[in-house]
Structure 1
Amino acid sequence: MRIYQSSMTIRHLREFAKRHPTAKPNVLLSYALLGNDLPHFIGKNRSLFQSLILDSGVFSLQKPGAQQTPEELYPKFKTFAQYNTSAWDLIFNFDLHFGLDSYDKNLEFQIDLEQASIPVVSVIHNIYNDDVDKILSRGLPEHKTVAIGQCEGRTVIKNVEPVINKLHQAGAKIHFFGSSEYRLMAKLPIWSCDSSSWSKYPSIGVLLFWNPKNDMRFDKTDKIHFPKYQDAKTPTGCIYYRDYDYLKDFEEYLGSNLNFTLADMMGEEADLNRAVANMLYYCQLEKKIEEQQRLLGFVLPE
C-alpha cells in the first residue's frame, strides 16, 4: 500500500530523512502548484522518497483565487508532462470535469495526452454506472493504474466495493483520490491513495499516533492536540495532550523514532516537527493497511 503525501516540500523531506533515514515517503505533486523545489524532487533529492506522482492540478483551479484558467493550464501541463514523463512514476489525466457524466468529456483530454506519448491514469467519477467497463474495454495501460476520483458516496464501502473489485479482478492497481481512511483502505484491495493531512493537521496543532494499546478499535489512530495558544480549543475528535492517557507512550515513540521530545512539538520549529512526525505516521499506516489487506486475502503488487 502506498499513501502519497501531497503538497510535499524538500525542506520536510530532508528533515524527515535526517531523523528517520530508513523510511521513504511517497509523494504527490500538483502541476498547478509546482514551485522552486521541483528540481530537487526530480533531480538530486530523488533518493529521499519512494515514488512520485504528478497530478494535473485541475482540482486546484476549483478553489477561490485560482490564478489560471483550465484553458491556460492544459497546454502547459501537456508540454511539461511530455518532456518530463520519465521523472514521474504516475501522471494523472487532466480531469477537468467531476460530474457523474464526466467520463466522455475527460476522455478527450486522455486521448490527446496519450497521443503525445504521456501514459496518464484514467479517473472514475461515477461509481454507479458503466464507466468502469468503458475504462477496462480500452485495455489497461502498462502502468495498470485506475483512480477513483470525486464521487458522492464513494467512501461508503458497499457503494464503492463493486467497482474496486471489478478493477482488482481485471488486474488494475487502484488509486483512491483524496482519502487515506484506514477503515476504508484496509478493507478493500486499494493499491494506493493520497492525503494532505500530514501538513494540514500540524497547522492546527494535531499529531497522529497509531496507538497499539487501542485494543478495542479497528482504527487505532489517536489525534493528539498540542495547541499553539493556551486558549485554543481542541478540535472535535482530538485529545488535548495533557489529558492523553498514553502521553508517555507517545513521547517514547517520538524519541525512539525521530529523536523528538514533547517540547519539540511546541517550540519554535513546532510546525516543521509536527509535520515530520505525521509523515512517519503515514509511512507506518501504509504497513498497517498492508497487513490487514493480506489478512483478507488481497494480493497486491509492490
Structure 2
Amino acid sequence: MEVKIFLSSFDLDVLLEYRTLKPDAEINVLLSYGTVNGDYYDMVVTHRDKINDLILDSGAFTYNFAGEAARQKIDLDGFKCYCKTFNKQFNFIFNFDVNFSDHGYDENCRNQDVLEKAGIERVVPVVHDYLGKNTDEAGEFIKRYPLISLGSSKYRTDKKVVAKIVKRIKDAGRKVHLLGVSAYNSIKDIPIDYSDSSNWAQAQKFGYIYFWNQPYDANTPDIMLRFRDKEIDNPNNTLTYFENYPHRTEVEEYIKNELSITYRDLYGHNSTFCRQLVNTHYFVKLQDRVREAHIANGFDTLYP
C-alpha cells in the first residue's frame, strides 16, 4: 500500500506553476462541490493530465458549517448533476453525507442510493458514528464497499479511536480514506490509504509556510513558519517567525534549490503565490515521508 495525500481547495495557477517546476512530482487533488469556481473546469478537464489522482468531495462540510448563502448553493440534485457530468474525471467521489451526527446513517445512505441509482460510479460512503452507538456504520459499509471514508470531526483527533476503526476496515480487506487529517504524527502510525490536507487551504489563508523540521528536531517533525505581514507580532506568543527560526539559512537554501524561490520572493509582490508553492512542495514531500513511515511500520507487508 502507498498512502496518497490529496491537496484540498487547490488553485489552478499554483498547479500549473508547480507542475512546471516539478514535472515528475505526484500531485493528488481534492476538489469540493461546495466551493466550485471558474478554475474547476480547467482542473477537471483542460489540465486533468497535470494531476495524478483527482477526487471530489460533496461539499457536505461547507453545507454544515458555512453561512446560509453557501448552503443554498449546495443540494443533492445539484451535486448529482455535477457528478454525472464529470464522473469519469474523478478517481472516486464522496457521498452527499450532509448529516454529520451519530444518527445520520439512514439519511446519508438514502443520498448514496440516489447517486448510485443515477449511474454515478465509485461513490464512497462516509462513516460518522465511529463507535457504532446507533448503527454499526463501518460494519455495514464493509459488506458493500471496497473503499470507506472516515469523516467524523468528533473523533478525528482521537488517535486510539481512529486507529481501531482503521484496523477493523483494513483487516476486512477494504481501503480507508481519513478526511481532513494530514498531520504527520497523526497518520504515520495508522495504515490509511488516503487522506486530504485541509491545512493547505489554511496556510494559504493565513500566509504561513510549512517546513520539514525533522533533521533538526525529531520530536517536532514539521513546523509552521509565520510572516509578520499577515499578523501582529505579539512578544508574548510562542509562534515561530521565519526571521527567528534557528535554521532559517537552511530553509532559504532548501527553498531556493527546490523551487528557485528566495527570501525576497516570500515577502514580495507575489508573496502569497510563492508561499503556496512552498506549501505545495511540503505536502508532496509529506506524502513521501508518510510512505516511508508506513513501510517502517510494516504496513506494506501487512496490507499489500
CA contact (8 A) 1:204 1:228 kept: no
Quote how far apart the aligned CAs of 1:69 are. 4.4
The correspondence for 2:216, drawn from 208, 214, 230, is: 214
1:245 aligns with 2:254: no
For residue 164 of structure 1, give the secondary structure of its aligned residue in structure 2.
helix
User: Cα deviations across residues 89-111 of structure 1 (Å, max 9, x unaligned)?
Assistant: 11000001000111122001111
Quote how far apart the aligned CAs of 1:64 are. 4.1
- Structure 2 vs 1, CA of residues 227 and 234 (structure 1 numbering), >3 Å: closer, same or farther? farther
Counterpart position of 1:181: 183
For residue 209 of structure 1, give the secondary structure of its aligned residue in structure 2.
strand
- Structure 2 vs 1, CA of residues 96 and 236 (structure 1 numbering), >3 Å: closer, same or farther? farther
Counterpart position of 2:298: 297
User: Cα deviations across residues 26-71 of structure 1 (Å, max 9, x unaligned)?
Assistant: 1111112111112211222112221111111121122343425479
For residue 24 of structure 2, give the secondary structure of its aligned residue in structure 1.
coil
The correspondence for 2:131, drawn from 117, 128, 133, is: 128
Q: Identity over the aligned pairs, expressed in percent? A: 28
User: Cα deviations across residues 163-212 of structure 1 (Å, max 9, x unaligned)?
Assistant: 10011112222111111111121010111111222232243331101124
CA contact (8 A) 1:199 1:275 kept: no
Q: Which moved more, 1:75-84 or 1:255-264?
A: 75-84
- Whole-angstrom CA distance in 1 between matches of 2:72 and 2:205: 30
Counterpart position of 2:229: 228
- Paired amino acid for 1:288: R
- Structure 2 vs 1, CA of residues 197 and 270 (structure 1 numbering), >3 Å: closer, same or farther? same
Quote how far apart the aligned CAs of 1:9 are. 1.6
- Whole-angstrom CA distance in 2 between matches of 1:72 and 1:44: 24
User: Cα deviations across residues 144-178 of structure 1 (Å, max 9, x unaligned)?
Assistant: 22110024233222112221001111222211111
For residue 239 of structure 1, give the secondary structure of its aligned residue in structure 2.
coil
Quote how far apart the aligned CAs of 1:214 are. 2.7
User: Cα deviations across residues 238-293 of structure 1 (Å, max 9, x unaligned)?
Assistant: 31122111111101110111001111111110011101100100000001011111
1:283 aligns with 2:277: no
- Structure 2 vs 1, CA of residues 254 and 106 (structure 1 numbering), >3 Å: closer, same or farther? same
Structure 2: any 5+ residue segments left out of the alignment?
Answer: none
Counterpart position of 1:269: 270
For residue 84 of structure 1, give the secondary structure of its aligned residue in structure 2.
helix
The correspondence for 2:152, drawn from 120, 135, 150, is: 150
**C-alpha RMSD of matched pairs (Å):** 2.2
CA contact (8 A) 2:166 2:190 kept: yes
- Whole-angstrom CA distance in 1 between matches of 2:71 and 2:276: 31
Counterpart position of 1:58: 60
Q: TM-score, normalised by structure 2?
A: 0.91
Q: Which moved more, 1:251-260 or 1:151-160?
A: 151-160
Counterpart position of 1:254: 255
- Whole-angstrom CA distance in 2 between matches of 1:299 and 1:122: 24
For residue 45 of structure 2, give the secondary structure of its aligned residue in structure 1.
coil
- Whole-angstrom CA distance in 2 between matches of 1:11 and 1:71: 25
- Structure 2 vs 1, CA of residues 76 and 234 (structure 1 numbering), >3 Å: closer, same or farther? farther
